[in-house]
Amino acid sequence: MAKVVIMPKFGMTMTEGTLTTWDKKEGDKIEVGELLFQVETDKLSNDVEACDAGIVRKLLVKEGDIIECLKPVAIIAGADEDISSLLNEVSEGIESEEQSNIKVPEKKIEEIKSENIKSGRVKASPLAKKMALKKNIDITLVEGTGPQGRITTEDVEKYIENSKNKPEVSPVASKALENNYAEKRVPMSGMRKVISARMLESCATSPTVTFNIKIDTTSLKKIRNALKDVCKVTYTDLIVKIVSKVLLQYPLLNCSVDGNELILRNFVNMGIAVALDDGLMVPVIKYANEKGLEEISRSIKELAQKAKDKTISVDELKGGTFTITNIGMYGIESFSPIINQPEVAILGVNKITETPVVENGEIVIKPLMNFSLTADHRAVDGSVAAEFLAKLKVYIEKPEMLFL
Of the residues 47, 65, 278, 377, only one is catalytic, namely: 377
The whole-angstrom separation of Cα 265 and Cα 243 is 15
Identify whether the C-beta of residue 271 lies closer than 8 Å to the C-beta of residue 323: yes
**29-30/35-40 β-pairing:** unpaired
Cβ-based neighbours of 379, under 8 Å, separated by 6 or more: 252, 255, 256, 257, 262, 344
The whole-angstrom separation of Cα 221 and Cα 242 is 14
How many CB atoms sit inside 10 A of residue 148's CB?
Answer: 12
Of the residues 47, 65, 278, 381, only one is catalytic, namely: 381
Q: How far is CA 305 from CA 14, 101, 239, in A?
A: 22, 44, 20
Q: Which segments of 44-152 are extended strands (E)?
A: 45-49, 54-59, 66-68, 72-77
Torsion of CA 329, 331, 333, 336, to 10 degrees: -70
Assess whether 377 carries a catalytic annotation: yes
Note if the bond before 171 is cis, omega within 30 degrees.
no
Residue 74: half-sphere exposure toward Cβ, Cα within 13 Å: 32
Residues classed as catalytic: 377, 381
